[in-house]
Structures are given as C-alpha cells and as structure tokens.
A and B are shown apart, each in its own frame.
Chain A
Amino acid sequence: MIEVNNLGKSFGDLVVFRDIHLHIQSREIVVLVGPSGSGKSTLLRCLNGLEVPDTGSIRIGDASWDASQNAASKKQAIQQIRLLTGMVFQSFNLFPHMTALENVTMAPMIVKKMSQTQAAELGESLLAKVGLSQKKNEYPSRLSGGQQQRVAIARALAMQPELMLFDEPTSALDPELTGEVLAVMKQLAAEGTTMVVVTHEMKFAREAANRVIFMSDGKIQEEGTPEQFFDQTKTERARRFLRQIEGDAATE
C-alpha cells in the first residue's frame, strides 16, 4: 500500500540517506529507530511531503510522486500525499490561537469543506477517543504536554489519513506523561491504523510493532520483527545502538 523506492535526500553536500526501499502493508505498524542524525525525521518528512526528496519515488494509495515527474505533477502529488498522511510532531505544533476542538475541526472544514456541525461531531468523537472530551474548549497553553500531544493525534486523525506518521511523539514529554500518549498510539495500532513511528521507546516497539527498521549512516541497516531485531540483532551497529539506549534508560 505504501511503496518507497530508491529514495534519496541531501541537504547541500550532506547526504542524509540514499537508496531507501520501504514497503509498508495496510494495517502494519513500523517502528523506525536509529541514532540521532541518521535521517529518521527527514525520511518521515519526505513521506508527508514536508521535505522533497532528490531521487526515487513514493507511492501512497492513489498518490504517486516520482523524482522524474515535472514540477506541476510533483506539486499535485505532494498535495495528495499530505492528504493521505497524518503527521504527529515531537513538539506537538498545536495551533495556539484555537481551542482543542478547533485544532481538530479546522482542517476538515477548510480542506474538505465539511460543515461546522459535521466537523464538530467528528472532532468531539476524536477528542473522546484520546480521552480529552472535557478539555475540548481549552486552549493548548492550558493543557499539559501529554494532553497537547493527544490533541495533535486527534487533529491528524480528523483528516482520516491512510498512514499516520509519528516523529518522536514522546521525546518532548516528562517521563510521567509518555504513558498516556503511548496508550493512545497502542489503541490506534490495535484498531488497525497503519503507522510509522520514530521513537526511542523500545518497550513500545516490542509490544506494538510488526516490524522494526534500524537506520544509520543514511541507510536501512537491518529490519525484522521486534523479536528478530531485539533478540537476534544482526549488525554490530544496531547492537551498539541498543546497548547505548539501554545504558541511557538505566541511568535515568
């Protein structure tokens, strides 16, 4: 359902990654891990049309982007891709001038021209799903980090994307607030939402992922089921990464 081939991206002289191949099935939960600076965010941003790759192709549902297309088709493809993917950012990026409910209903009303009543109904059901019904009229500044991130998840879901992308959704949160966000993500996973998640939460990867992908030095170094990746790690690079993560977790 999602097919990424030969994808490459550089910033000036810096090659972030090249030759990335990634096929994701519908309802699959892919967890993307790797050291900082290995290009995980950039890859996710390419899948959401926020970053334009230099080479390769991306196909998501009916939308396909190809580096060889002309500028107009590329632009159209990127717009389609953005409609088919939802993004959850590390720093939430909620709209501070809108209430929780308005954050969720704005895009359906503006982009899909949904009526206010319909959008409000959808928004309220999504806020209920992330456990924030009673906060619908609060502004983001009045919400905790965990609550803000849950609103951000509801906001992305409101566009009914085929693929949800999460870029370190819990990294900006105090440890005691990560649980509520991970619980919502697990619930989405259980409902069959197709997801690509960049995270350092190895417990989440073990429990929720169908596949773990390890990225480093601009390449996918290894991938497999959580059991394969954590218990029979193939590359030395990944073993070193896992030792490091465990070390960090132990010192916390």
Chain B
Amino acid sequence: MELVFQNFEFLLTGAYYTLLITVVSMFFGLIIGMIVAIARLKGNWLISNLAKVYVSIIRGTPILVQIFIIYFGLPDFGITLGPLTAAFIALSVNIGAYLSETFRGAILSVPKGQTEAAQSLGLTPWQTMRQVVLPQAARVAIPPMGNTFVGILKETSLVSVVTVTELLRSAQLLIAQYYVAMPFYIAIAIMYWVMSTFFTYILGRIEARLSKAY
C-alpha cells in the first residue's frame, strides 16, 4: 500500500490519460456517429451503403486488431502516428460505428407525425432535424450512449499495448519496477471504478433533465 501512495502521482497521470483518451475519442466518435447515422438514413444508395459497410467492419472485428492496424499497419503506407494519436483515431473510429447505430435507432424511433408537423409549419428538412427530431432522439440515445461511454473508459486499457501510458500501463510499469503486483492492480481497479461511477451519475442527471417533459 505504501508503494501505491508513493507513486500515486504517477498513477494519477495514467488516469489523466485514460480520461483524456476517453473524452477525446467520445467527442470525435459522437461526430462520426452522427454523420454516419444521417448518411445511412438520408444518403443516396452509395453513401448509405458505404456507411453500412464501415459499421459492419468495425463491429465485426476486435478493437485490438483495429488498434494494431492503425498503429503498426499504417506505417506500411507511409503513415506513421504517435501512440496517443493512434489511440485517439482507433477509438474514435470504433465508437463512431457503435454510436451511429444508436443514433440511427433513436432517430427512427421519432414518430413520422413529428416530421410532418414540422414540415407543415414550413421548416426545412434540416430545421426539422435540428429542432424536432434530434432533441427527441437524444433522449432515446442517452442511456445507450452512456453505456458506450463507460465501456470505452474501460477499453482504453487496450491502448496500453501500443505504449500509451494510460492507467493500466502506469500500473504495469510500476509493477516491473517494484516486483509487486496486487496493490497496484487493486489501486487502478478502484480508480477505474470511481471514474465509471462518476460518469454513470452524470449521465443519469442528463437523462433526468431530458425526460422532464415526459
């Protein structure tokens, strides 16, 4: 235990990277997910099928393989990325695919009458999306989005394999140095758990806010 406290700052730095990777990937994943969902729903045949293939590939392959392709595979094509950048890209692309499915389902769950009412008032398709469909879809999408978010917080541990010193790798480095494992693993388990619980709580609050009309 002593060792954990002595190296707490180092572990906190690891936790900071875990959070950073989670938040950045979630941010870009949201944008990708939104664009891909709209591409699938409103795009022409080609665009909608491209989006479909993207989602299918990402969902049908392990995230670890995706991370390896981006970090170890892309240099073969002359694209060399730092470990952190590779982690951001791999996770954003991964989250984007999952969230696009969430968003697509949420958008489809808004009744057709809502779109018709907006159109009959003279709103353009984009205004209808922005004012009427998306706010209602958001409410449906928040709970599964929260699950994705907490899931990704834990999956960031996978990018330790490409030498990003996030929380798991911080612990592994300390273990290699001191030859004791358990206290460090317990410590980071607690830190993961605290972060997950915190985000679950925040998302619960957002959900409650969005539901106040219902």
Contacts and interface: CB of A to CB of B under 8 A. Distances in A.
Interface of A: 48-50, 79, 82-83, 85-87, 89, 91, 93-99, 106-107, 110-111, 139-141, 152, 155-156, 159
B60 interface: no
B213 A111 contact: no
Nearest to A152: B117
Contacts of A139: 212-214
A200 B120 CA distance: 23
A161 to B, nearest CB: 9
Contacts of A152: 117
Nearest to A109: B131
A107 B116 contact: no
Contacts of B122: 79, 82-83, 107, 111, 159
11 contacts: A50-B116, A83-B122, A91-B113, A93-B113, A95-B117, A96-B214, A99-B213, A107-B121, A107-B122, A156-B121, A159-B122
Interface string B124-158: 10010001100110010000000000000000000
Nearest to B112: A93
Contacts of B136: 95-97
B123 interface: yes
Interface residues of B, number: 22
Contacts of A50: 116, 119-120
A95 B120 contact: no
Interface of B: 111, 113-114, 116-124, 127, 131-132, 135-136, 139, 210, 212-214
Nearest to A99: B213
A94 to B, nearest CB: 8
Given A82-B120, A93-B113, A98-B213, 11 more contacts: A79-B124, A82-B122, A85-B120, A93-B111, A95-B117, A106-B121, A107-B122, A111-B121, A111-B123, A111-B127, A139-B212
Nearest to B138: A97
A96 B136 CA distance: 8
Nearest to A87: B120
Given A50-B116, A93-B113, A107 B123 contact: yes
